[in-house]
Amino acid sequence: MATAVITSRDFVDAIAVEVATKIDVAVESWMAEMEQALNDPALTTLGRINAAKEVLAQYKSLTGKQQLQSYRVLAA
């Protein structure tokens, strides 16, 4: 039976890949909800905007965030 040696670097790399994957899945899920809200043919233009605002409000509620920062603000 072969034994595998796992280094600290391998462990950190595996965790980083797992975290990045979960973040990608979460972002894609939120973007899919936003896309669905904005493309719903049963809604009027105002209804689509309100549906998108609802998705955003749900995100803020679940994360406890009141204010979101854009990348441009964070990079400054």
Domain boundaries, the chain: 8-75
Q: How far is 25 from 3, CA to CA, in rounded Å? A: 33
Separate counts of helices (H) and strands (E) for the chain: 3, 0
Q: What is the pLDDT of residues 33-43, one digit of tens each?
A: 999 999 999 99
Does the predicted TM-score (pTM) go above 0.75?
no
Looking at residue 2, what is its pLDDT? Answer: 62
Kindly give the parts of the chain with pLDDT less than 50: none
CA neighbor of 37 nearest in space, from 28, 29, 27, 47: 47
Helix (H) or strand (E) holding 2: none
| Cα–Cα distances in angstroms (integers) from residue 42 to residues 7, 38, 60, in the given order | 54, 11, 25
